[in-house]
Amino acid sequence: MSLSTQEAVRENKGAAAPQKYLLEVDSVRKEFPGVVALDDVNLRIRPGTVHALMGENGAGKSTLMKIIAGIYQPDRGEVRLSGKQVHMTTPLDALEQGVAMIHQELNLMPFMTIAENIWIRREPLTKLGFVDHKALRDNTKKLFDRLNINLDPETEVRDLSIANRQMVEIAKAISYESDVLIMDEPTSALTDREVEHLFQIIASLKAEGKGIVYITHKMDEVFEIADDVSVFRDGKYIGTDLASNLDSDQLIRMMVGREITQMFPKEEVPIGDVVLSVKDLCLDGVFENVNFDLRAGEILGVAGLVGSGRTNVAETIYGVTPATGGSISVFGETVEIKTPAEAMGHGMALLTEDRKDTGLFMMLDIQENMQIALLSQDHVKAGFVAESAVSKLCTEMSEALRVKTPGMNERIENLSGGNQQKVLIGRWLLTKPRILILDEPTRGIDVGAKAEIHKLITKLAGEGVAVLMISSEMPEVLGMSDRVMVMHEGHVTGILDRAEADQVSVMRLASN
Amino acid sequence: MANATDVAETNAPARKLPVEANIFLVLIGIAVFFEILGWIVKGDTFLFNPQRLLIMVLQVSIIGLLAIGVTQVIITGGIDLSSGSVLALSAMVAASFAQTSDYTRAVFPMFTDMPFLVPVLAGIAVGALAGFINGSLIAYTAIPPFIATLGMMVTARGLARYYTKGQPISLLSEEYMWLGSGTIPVIIFLMAAFIFHIALRFTRYGKFTYATGANVQAAKVSGINVGRHLIKVYTLAGLLAGLGGVVAAARAGSGQAGMGLAYELDAIAAAVIGGTSLAGGVGRITGTVIGTIILGTMMSGFTFLGIDAYIQDIVKGGIIVAAVVADQYRQRKRAKV
């Protein structure tokens, strides 16, 4: 692809009539503490087209859409609607200026009817100022007729299936008659039949001259409905081209085409016996028939898009959500794990994906955060914590991991993300795990801390710890793993050896 | 975002002082306030009167026992509305086993003149059982603590009334009534405070209590059996309410079904004034003790100045709200960091 297209786009910005585009995004930059989410990003949406946004997890698509929908404000750059620069400070602003977004999460109120949900804040009123329920129903009926949706407007949303709720969300967004409609993975909750229906709706919106921004991970969808495709990678705008000029291989290469320059301290260490063996593991409705062996000293990377079931597999092995089928053996013995405590009893540790939600005790100090898993195993006599011994262990661990802090009684919320993560890793290392499950071990932390954590993981593997490492960062997975297991929609689509795993092969298995 | 670090820096030195120091200053302030008003209005000292100082704590000792329990419950992120009613039920049961045989219409004529320990243990056991039921409901049916303990609040009060069809239980043994005499309630309160202060600070029970309240998901992943732990905490809170009932009956010389009415709210107020956060994860027994004594000081001070009891309530309400506003403010400041 085509620098030429990119240049063409740039030229248009200067010379040609700006009204040519419904939506223009120019050099938008957005930073979050420690990360540049968007780095001088551009986007042009032509009227009457579907514009697909593609990129890996964390490429910046969702952040960009949130800026366009008024949820975030850009640090720099500008957004223009039909050639006019706009500042949207709330989602309401965006709606009023002609941008509607269909969210990935469902935002409907379950105890209200479909009609009430769609017209909320815009209810037709009677002369006396009451809600005119008849008009409400008729308006909804009209909208549904136009979209060919066959639902009773009086149904309460909680009685609808997830797919039907998604259709209501879509109808609601369309009811704003916006020029630009953002769809963030709208088909993830839909069955094939409804996807077909959605595509018909999209076609009629196109015919009305609207611009549709379509975020998806599904290649076939892109080639079925998209006119233009823009690719993002690591917060950067890579380029735009006509969908008809591309094929899926080219697209994948654009999405992953970074050079792996970061160094990974991967060392070849002796691989030992199988310590964890997972057979036909299932969790109803989430993932199916997961099979793998994990050996002492091995790092098994797990790749896949968010929502592919990676985290669920980890949580099931660890007993957070007990399996509904299949078996787990540890050191050759079949075990039943229903709680994290049981998993810990078998020498497992799980560093969870979301530090804030499931890891940290924000209002407690470093030692209190670090010692907690240890205390459920040891160092307690007659209920009393062996304070001096535990304190010594925590301090040593904190020094070994080079946690930067004024002291062990500093509240953990005052630490940077990287140091918080080190404390959480320390929490698990104190329990001397034989099987270490790491879910996004370096998410949202700075480069220095990242490298230290990578080094640490390698060192642990060298000591014979079996590591299962889930990561959305391709370089991390490829750089650290002995083997890479790829998941897609609740299935393992392949396990690649270090030699055969590269960005393209992994991405192909991940997006199928 | 840019000034996030600034906030962190300005926050750090402020946190060097324990929260209790602030609350203690409030207590001193209130005491000095009454001392000055005392000299102006009555020409008399408020503080330098040992008898009054004792009463200040004595009259809130029983609320203090409940407050020690509810502090732990609140630290786990829960609430206990049942402590006042459980106190009444425990007081009734304890009193029914503490009657002397001189009384011809004893509740249990065959259980009169029992050794001192029997009513004490019976009262405590009833309280612990009520707490155990609270905890089990919360842990295993996943209903909110507010609802579980609201149910217990109504049920326990009903049981207390039903126990003797509303009749008070009187003529209790001398031995038993000793528990409510003189400084004994204060000693029991402070001993319980000491024990649970140690428990929260130095035992695994305490560490797990804070962890559960600070982040229940993280606590589970760290291997804590959160359900079982909550049952422990609520059972202990019930046990303390039971002990409160035992002392209350001893102090009053009878068991009455109306005892401890709305005490649960005073207990929660004492905990909150003492710096326990309703968001969970934060709170200390020392703070709760000071919070309890603040309530006692205000009661004494108003009585000393001859101020209407109704006005006392009006001011107390204001203080409680102010304490929660301060708590919210602290939370918000944290959230920004």
Report residue B332's pLDDT band, with 50, 70 and 90 as the boundaries. Answer: low
Q: Do A221 and A480 touch, CB atoms closer than 8 A?
A: no
Name which of B10, B222, B236 to mutate to probe chain A: the one with the most chain A Cβ atoms within 10 A of its Cβ: B222
Shortest CA distance from A318: residue in chain B: B221
Please tell me the least confidently modeled range out of A184-198, A487-501, B244-258: A184-198
Angle between helical axes of B184-202 and B204-214 (0-180°, round to 10): 70
Q: Kind of pairing, strands A483-488 and A491-497?
A: antiparallel
Q: Do B242 and B123 touch, CB atoms closer than 8 A?
A: yes
Query: Given CB atoms, is A380 within the 8 Å cutoff of chain B?
Result: yes
pLDDT over threshold 70, residue A260: no
More reliable by pLDDT, B171 or B147: B147
A364 and B205 in contact by Cβ < 8 A? no
- Enumerate residues 6+ apart whose C-beta is below 8 A from A137: A115, A153, A154
pLDDT for residue A472:
84
pLDDT for residue B19:
66
**CA dist A500 → A469, A483, A506 (Å):** 18, 9, 9
- The complex scores an ipTM of 0.82
Length of chain A: 512
How far is it, in rounded angstroms, from Cα A502 to Cα A253? 11
Q: Establish, for the pair of chains A and B, how many residue pairs have beta carbons separated by less than 8 Å.
A: 96
Task: Tell me the mean pLDDT in the region A318-333.
Answer: 94
CATH of span B19-327? 1.10.3470
Report residue A261's pLDDT band, with 50, 70 and 90 as the boundaries. Answer: low
Q: What HEC string does A154-183 produce?
A: CCEHHHCCHHHHHHHHHHHHHHCCCCEEEE
Angle between helical axes of B50-58 and B184-202 (0-180°, round to 10): 60
Please tell me the least confidently modeled range out of A30-34, A340-344, B127-131, B168-172: A30-34
Three-class SS state of A129:
coil
- Enumerate residues 6+ apart whose C-beta is below 8 A from A93: A70, A87
Shortest CA distance from A431: residue in chain B: B222
What's the CATH number of domain A272-347+434-445+463-512, 3.40.50.720, 3.40.50.300, 1.10.1060.10, 3.40.309.10? 3.40.50.300
Strand residues in A342-470 grouped as ranges (E): 348-351, 380-381, 384-385, 435-439, 466-470
Task: For chain A, give the percent of residues with pLDDT over 90.
Answer: 55
pLDDT over threshold 70, residue B74: yes
Compute the mean pLDDT over every residue in chain B, rounded to the nearest whole number.
89
pLDDT digits (tens, 9 = 90+) for A355-376: 888 999 998 999 999 999 999 8
pLDDT over threshold 50, residue B4: no
Give, for A460, the enclosing helix (H) or strand (E). Answer: helix A447-462
Three-class SS state of B337:
coil
pLDDT digits (tens, 9 = 90+) for B125-160: 999 999 999 999 999 998 999 999 999 999 999 999
How far is it, in rounded angstroms, from Cα A488 to Cα A501? 16
How far is it, in rounded angstroms, from Cα A180 to Cα A49? 10
Task: For chain B, give the percent of residues with pLDDT over 90.
Answer: 65
B225 and A33 in contact by Cβ < 8 A? no
Burial class of A128 by CB neighbour count within 10 A (0 to 12, 13 to 18, 19+) = exposed
Which of A340, A372, A411 is opposite residue B211, by nearest beta carbon?
A372
Report residue A254's pLDDT band, with 50, 70 and 90 as the boundaries. Answer: confident
Report residue B333's pLDDT band, with 50, 70 and 90 as the boundaries. Answer: low
pLDDT over threshold 80, residue B60: yes
CA distance B264 to chain A (A): 26
Report residue B8's pLDDT band, with 50, 70 and 90 as the boundaries. Answer: very low
Compute the mean pLDDT over every residue in chain A, rounded to the nearest whole number.
88
How far is it, in rounded angstroms, from Cα B283 to Cα B272? 8
Question: Which residue, chain included where needed, has tokens 């204001």?
Answer: B318
Q: Do A319 and A340 touch, CB atoms closer than 8 A?
A: yes
CA distance A344 to chain B (A): 7
How far is it, in rounded angstroms, from Cα B205 to Cα B220? 15
How far is it, in rounded angstroms, from Cα B197 to Cα B79? 19
Which of B11, B217, B282 is opposite residue A358, by nearest beta carbon?
B217
pLDDT for residue A18:
42
Which of A417, A465, A407, A464 shows the shortest CA–CA distance to A438?
A465
B222 and A427 in contact by Cβ < 8 A? yes
Count CA atoms closer than 13 A to A141's CA, side-chain side: 8
Which of B205, B220, B223 is opposite residue A383, by nearest beta carbon?
B205
More reliable by pLDDT, A429 or A379: A429
pLDDT for residue B334:
56
B214 and A380 in contact by Cβ < 8 A? no
Task: Tell me the mean pLDDT in the region B243-268.
Answer: 95
pLDDT digits (tens, 9 = 90+) for A410-425: 889 888 888 899 999 9
pLDDT for residue A336:
93
- Enumerate residues 6+ apart whose C-beta is below 8 A from B174: none
Three-class SS state of A476:
helix
Neighbours of B208 (CB within 10 A): 24
pLDDT for residue A259:
55
Structure tokens at A5: 């297209």
* Parts of chain A belonging to CATH 3.40.50.300: 272-347+434-445+463-512
Task: Tell me the mean pLDDT in the region B51-59.
Answer: 91
pLDDT over threshold 70, residue A194: yes
Residues of A in contact with B19 (CB under 8 A): none
pLDDT over threshold 80, residue B327: no
Give, for A39, the enclosing helix (H) or strand (E). Answer: strand A35-45
pLDDT for residue A276:
96
Sheet holding A483-488, edge to edge: A348-351, A435-439, A466-470, A299-304, A483-488, A491-497
Task: Tell me the mean pLDDT in the region B40-62.
Answer: 91
Among A168-177, A394-403, B64-73, B165-174, name the most confident range.
B64-73
pLDDT over threshold 90, residue A8: no
How far is it, in rounded angstroms, from Cα A347 to Cα B117? 47
Cα angle for residues A316, A320, A323 (degrees, 5° grid): 35
Residues of A in contact with B202 (CB under 8 A): 384-385, 387
Report residue A105's pLDDT band, with 50, 70 and 90 as the boundaries. Answer: low
Report residue B208's pLDDT band, with 50, 70 and 90 as the boundaries. Answer: very high
Structure tokens at B262: 């709305």
A320 and B11 in contact by Cβ < 8 A? no
CA distance A432 to chain B (A): 14
Angle between helical axes of A503-511 and A248-256 (0-180°, round to 10): 120
How far is it, in rounded angstroms, from Cα B2 to Cα B18? 28
Query: Given CB atoms, is A409 within the 8 Å cutoff of chain B?
Result: no
pLDDT for residue A63:
87
**CA dist B258 → A375, B133, B161, B247 (Å):** 43, 22, 8, 15
Which of A397, A470, A401, A467 shows the shortest CA–CA distance to A436?
A467
Question: Which residue, chain included where needed, has tokens 């630009």?
Answer: A180
